[in-house]
Amino acid sequence: MNVIIISIGDELLSGNTVNTNFSWIGQKLAGLGCSIIYQVTIADDKSSICEALDKIFLMSPDLIITTGGLGPTSDDITRKTIFDYLSINEKFDDSYWEILKNRFYEMGIKIGNSNRSQAMVPNQGIVIDNPIGSARGFHIDHKKSSIIILPGVPSEMKNMINDYVVAFINKQGVEKQYTSIIRTTGLSESTIFEMTGSIFHKNSNCVMGYYPSYAGVDIRMRGKSKKLINKVHFDIKNILNEKNIYSESDKNMEQIIVDLAIEKNKKIAIAESCTGGLIGHRITQISGSSKIFEGGFIVYNDHLKEKVLGVNKLTLEKYGAVSEEAAQEMAENILKNTGSDLGLSVTGIAGPGGGSPDKPVGTVYIGVASDDSVYVVKRIFKSDRKINKLKTSQLALNELRMKIIE
């Protein structure tokens, strides 16, 4: 089933609102086996809407979904414009107007005359109920396509997709798609592509994509055969190193860490320098992290490394705060200071200043300590300050992950 989405709203084009409706609908419908083939964002403007409809009906999608422009104010023109475009007459729905008046009354709000437009209904098609808002939706068949018109308020739109659109799509007998994901870190997109590309060439019924971000590269697979998707997943897993695969579901690194640490009953503490608290922040995004996360020190200024964390003054003088030696002592001392099972340390130069020929901007050392061992890894990142911080946090959490499962 081919689907096109029309997002209507000046606030989207001006960038003042991020179009999360579109990605939500995309994920929802892709999960039902639909292909979203095209999406447009247009202004709250009659000619923009009509021109977009001209183009899109020519593409003959099975389904068109519009969001936005069904509110009560004067810039909400979607309903009237589309009905005119389709030569549909509308009438005032007295019984819905009574319902609306009651709802507003119960909320203690006086209903405005501007809301009367929301009681208009077409003389054909289906009216889609909106139990949590005043703007109802519409489902109209035109040429070879169905057009479903929904409000832009995310909670209302999602409700109507879940309650109405999902059932409509399922009734069309769309063939189910199976999906799978392998989340990797520490390898570049091109390296992964070279390692795994041949698998995809051999399995053309498996649609794949590589999605890089600071966190690493996600490999997504999709196809109609569950067996094939499982096989491709298995083949890719066999080629890549366990160290590079941190997740085989949509779970992110911090969720994986918290799950593993709970399972293995390991208490964690961290000493962060250049990441400034980001690693602690990421871990504490996860509900239940308090079971395994003790806390830590943000030793941003060197004198705190010595004063509160007890890193040897001579170490800092001889090797510097950004050094293998400092990272090792930081990891060991965070363990001692907090009585945790695992200590993670990070020291580095996020940039843009602070680099030297010896230790350029982006140089980071990660230390991992437990009762019986400690080790340090070094890496040089080449991005800007914020991305260097993110990449450093991901590398550090991945080292911690490997330590937990060792």
The only residue of 189, 235, 259, 324 in contact with a second copy, by rule CB under 8 A: 189
250-259 burial string, b = 16+ CB within 10 Å, else e? ebbbbbbbbb
Asked if 194 touches a second copy (CB under 8 A), the answer is: yes
Asked if 2 touches a second copy (CB under 8 A), the answer is: no
Residues 354-383 close enough to bind a second copy by CB under 8 A: 354, 379-383
Q: Beta-carbon neighbour count of residue 209 at 10 Å?
A: 11
On the 0-12 / 13-18 / 19+ scale of CB atoms within 10 A, 340 is: buried
What binding mask, one character per residue, do residues 147-186 give for a second copy by CB under 8 A, x or -? ------x-x-------------------------------
User: What 3-state DSSP class applies to 85?
Assistant: helix
Residues 379-398 close enough to bind a second copy by CB under 8 A: 379-387, 389
Among 87-95, 119-127, 290-298, 394-402, the segment contacting a second copy (CB under 8 A): 290-298
| H-only helix segments in 112-267 | 154-160, 166-171, 189-202, 226-239, 253-264
Separation between Cα atoms, residue 158 and residue 165, nearest integer Å? 10
Residues 98-137 close enough to bind a second copy by CB under 8 A: 103, 106-115, 132
For residue 22, give the H/E element and its range: helix 20-31
Considering the complex, state which of residue 154 and residue 317 has its C-beta at the smaller distance from a second copy.
154
Name every residue whose Cβ is closer than 8 Å to that of residue 279 and which is 6 or more positions away in sequence. Answer: 270, 272, 344, 346, 393, 396, 397
Give me the least distance between CB of 123 and a second copy, in Å please: 25
Considering the complex, state which of residue 5 and residue 140 has its C-beta at the smaller distance from a second copy.
5
What Å distances lie between residue 48 and 12, 20, 86, 209, CA to CA?
A: 14, 21, 15, 33
Give me the least distance between CB of 147 and a second copy, in Å please: 18
Considering the complex, state which of residue 141 and residue 303 has its C-beta at the smaller distance from a second copy.
303
Among 34-42, 61-69, 311-319, 365-373, the segment contacting a second copy (CB under 8 A): 34-42
The only residue of 123, 204, 287, 373 in contact with a second copy, by rule CB under 8 A: 287
Asked if 220 touches a second copy (CB under 8 A), the answer is: yes
121: amino acid identity, one letter: V
Give me the least distance between CB of 100 and a second copy, in Å please: 11
The only residue of 2, 191, 225, 252 in contact with a second copy, by rule CB under 8 A: 191
